[in-house]
Amino acid sequence: MAWDFSTDPEFQEKLDWVDQFCREEVEPLDYVFPYAVRSKDPKIRALVKGLQDQVKEQGLWAIFLDKDLGGPGYGQLKLGLLNEILGRYSAAPQIFGAAAPDTGNMEMLAAYGTDEQKKRWLEPLINQEIFSAYSMTEPQGGSDPNLFRTHAMRDGDEWVINGEKWFTSAGRVADILFVMCTNGMFVVPRETPGVEIQPEPRNHNHIIYRDVRVPLDHLLGPENGAKVLAQRRLGGGRIHHAMRTIAQCKLAFDMMCERALSRESHGKIIGEHQMVQERIADSYAAIRMLRLFVLETAWKIDNSSTQETRTDIAAVKFTMAKVLRDVSYNALHILGSLGTTDLTPLQAIYAAAPTMGIADGVDEVHKATVARNVLKDYEPHDGYWPTEYIPAKREAAWQKFQPKFEADPDLRELAEGYKKYFANRR
């Protein structure tokens, strides 16, 4: 039986290159030219292209796509290890052509789009000539598709979409919107008449679709197939997201440990105080356990499918939110007042933790899913006593040994001695 936690040397070289590239090239660009990937300025675009060309030379462009979908086909485990590095740097996913929400939308297009749809939308998305958003959740239904009301009616050679979507991340700056309706997934150009983007929230947009008309060929995949497409989109994406979350946890942890060795209190460095040591130890263990859980889940997906691994995917989703919340909270306390400002990444990391427990479905929904799936593998016990009721198990064991006792009275005498000994200890 194979049981191995190592990374093959060839891929480790890739990881080492990514780590150095992000630290020395991507991070400085982001500090000087924030949101450079979306800039229209030709000089800034040239800087971005130079970095992206290096990524492509390494064979690391659009790393999330399988080989049959036009990508490198690394699989979820290797993707997880890559995203563990990319997640530390806000601009890195875009420099590698692997930023949400475009990644999931591209995967849907690659898997379910027609040749014409791929030509029209997938190729420009991969080349970052256009950007997209995913319009799924609704004000009254949250992320539960069973409560959605947005619907598309066929009218001649067009679909007419009516409904309301909430928290469409980056909808305001997207070129195309992937709109999940009760009867299908539709690609809607943002400038289509009837697409009304509300003033607030500014980053995660509230959009009203009022008699929005799109041609028939803007239906992605089969009619009434939106749930299938959504699951394809979210399953593996949650693993990428989890590994990027681990990167954020590790960033907060690094800041915590550095601070613990740099400041003094009551005559000694704060890292020598037991309460600080407790926060460091708890954070270290939480990150390590989450990382192994995520990588094991990625391995399971690679060796089965997202459908067969859905219980672990759901468990990863709510666990990563908790670990991020706990670790960033510990780090914030150790940094003290500095941790409450925007002068380090810590305040943003801590502020993102509650959102993590809501995005892609609230934690409560995922916990209920995990519990239901886990309980399918169990059965109720008969009678009053559970399976592990000791008196019943002891009686069954004695019955099992009766043939041996009949054949060897001395063995019975030994057993009786043990029985009396334990009876007298009560």
pLDDT band at 415 (very low <50, low <70, confident <90, very high): very high
Question: 236 pLDDT exceeds 70?
Answer: no
Q: Which residue has the higher pLDDT, 71 or 40?
A: 40
Q: What is the mean pLDDT of the chain?
A: 94
198-225 CB burial, b ≥16 within 10 A, e <16 = eeeeeebbbbebeebbbeeebbbbeeeb
As a whole number, mean pLDDT of residues 60-64 equals 90
Provide the pLDDT for residue 234.
67
As a whole number, mean pLDDT of residues 72-99 equals 94
CA dist list (Å): 285 to 6, 254, 291, 348, 426: 19, 14, 10, 23, 38
As a whole number, mean pLDDT of residues 207-213 equals 98
Distance CA 396, CA 60 (A): 60
Specify the range with the lowest mean pLDDT, choosing from 63-67, 118-122, 174-178, 300-304. Answer: 63-67
Provide the pLDDT for residue 280.
98
Distance CA 167, CA 189 (A): 17
Q: What is the pLDDT of residues 130-183, one digit of tens each?
A: 999 999 999 998 888 899 999 999 999 999 999 999 999 999 999 999 999 999
Distance CA 359, CA 122 (A): 25
Question: 407 pLDDT exceeds 90?
Answer: yes
Question: 410 pLDDT exceeds 80?
Answer: yes
Question: 4 pLDDT exceeds 90?
Answer: no
As a whole number, mean pLDDT of residues 213-239 equals 87
Distance CA 173, CA 202 (A): 10
Q: Single out the residue of 133, 112, 130 nearest to residue 120, CA to CA.
A: 130
pLDDT band at 1 (very low <50, low <70, confident <90, very high): low
Provide the pLDDT for residue 324.
97
Phi, psi of 267 (to 5 degrees): 85, 5
All domains of the chain, ordered by start, with CATH? Answer: 9-113 (1.10.540.10), 132-220 (2.40.110.10), 228-375 (1.20.140.10), 390-424 (no CATH)
Provide the pLDDT for residue 124.
95
Question: 420 pLDDT exceeds 70?
Answer: yes
Provide the pLDDT for residue 69.
67
As a whole number, mean pLDDT of residues 13-30 equals 98
As a whole number, mean pLDDT of residues 371-394 equals 95
Provide the pLDDT for residue 238.
76
Please name every residue paired with 169 in a beta bridge, in sequence order, or none if there are none: 204
pTM of the model: 0.90
